[in-house]
Amino acid sequence: MDRTHELLLSLASPPPHRCFLCDRESLVGEDGLCDECRRTLKLAISPAPPEGLDGLTAGLRYCDELGSVFFRFKVMERRDYTPFLAQFISIPEEWRAEILVPVPLHWLRLYRRTYNQSFLLSEYVSSRYGIPICQELLVRTRPTRQQKFAKNRRKGLKGAFRAAPECQGRSIILIDDVVTSGTTLSECARALKKAGAYRVYAACVACSDR
């Protein structure tokens, strides 16, 4: 078979793409999902905001399949998952927020992981909505363990964030990948409002049924 014939065949039958959810080669749509996985995902309908937040939006309900996606995104360093996940983050127009703030990692975890997944998501959200990012407004002052129970998480995260005085009078949107107990977002909001933030919202890819 000559090279020209091979090229024409490759154009007529393009190679399959991998579905971002099941990670199998398949015919996928513009959203990066195969038909079977698209039916698996459920939309998050009006999730209740955790304490301290003025509003919360999440695109999807958390499920085991999404857990595998977040594992690849955060642990296996699959940064190519960023645009796929960011497409599920939306900003309500009525929030009228001025700044995006990615939920920060402690510097030690950031050093080990080499990137903050919430910042990567923020970049895509910022480009879509034209809202600037200011990650310097919020820092995690000490490392915290990922704990199973909400009560322990609340205790472990108390006072773990510090906000800059430039928060004064501003409406801010926190960006994160997934909301589980909501404790992290609550502590972030507490720190931002203590520093004078007017409103604090959160926009995430997915949320679990708390």
pLDDT at 12: 44
**Which residue type, as a one-letter code, is found at position 87?**
Q
Nearest-5° angle of CA 158, CA 160, CA 163? 115
Total domain count, the chain:
2
Q: Are residues 49 and 14 in the same domain?
A: no
Looking at the fold, whether 36 and 113 belong to one and the same domain comes out as: no
Q: Which residue segment(s) compose the domain that 119 sits in?
A: 41-207
* 124 and 186 co-located in one domain: yes
159 shares a domain with 58: yes
pLDDT at res. 102: 98
Q: Are residues 143 and 167 in the same domain?
A: yes
Q: Report which residue type is found at 126.
A: S
| Same domain, residue pair 1 and 63 | no
Look at residues 197, 205, 185 and name the one whose alpha carbon lies nearest to residue 98.
Answer: 197
Q: What is the spatial distance between Cα 147 and Cα 161, in angstroms, rounded to a whole number?
A: 17
Looking at the fold, whether 7 and 92 belong to one and the same domain comes out as no
Looking at the fold, whether 13 and 82 belong to one and the same domain comes out as no
Rounded Cα–Cα distance for residues 194 and 168 (Å): 9
Please tell me the pTM assigned to this model.
0.86
Long-range contacts of the stretch 149-156 (C-beta < 8 A, 24+) = 150/181, 150/183, 150/210, 153/181, 153/183, 153/184, 154/181, 154/183, 154/186, 154/187
Please check whether residues 31 and 111 belong to one and the same domain.
no
Residues 110 and 21 in one domain: no
Same domain as 98, residue 172: yes
Are 57 and 47 in contact by the 8 Å Cβ rule? The answer is yes
**Gap between the Cα atoms of 57 and 31, Å rounded:** 19
Q: What is the pLDDT along the chain (210 residues), one digit of tens a residue?
A: 455 545 444 444 444 588 999 999 888 999 999 999 999 999 998 889 999 999 999 999 999 999 999 999 999 989 999 999 999 999 999 999 999 999 999 888 888 888 999 999 999 999 999 999 999 999 998 877 664 445 566 666 777 899 999 999 999 999 999 999 899 999 999 999 999 999 999 999 999 976
Q: Are residues 185 and 99 in the same domain?
A: yes
- Cα gap 194→163, rounded to integer Å: 8
Q: What is the CATH number of the domain that holds 85?
A: 3.40.50
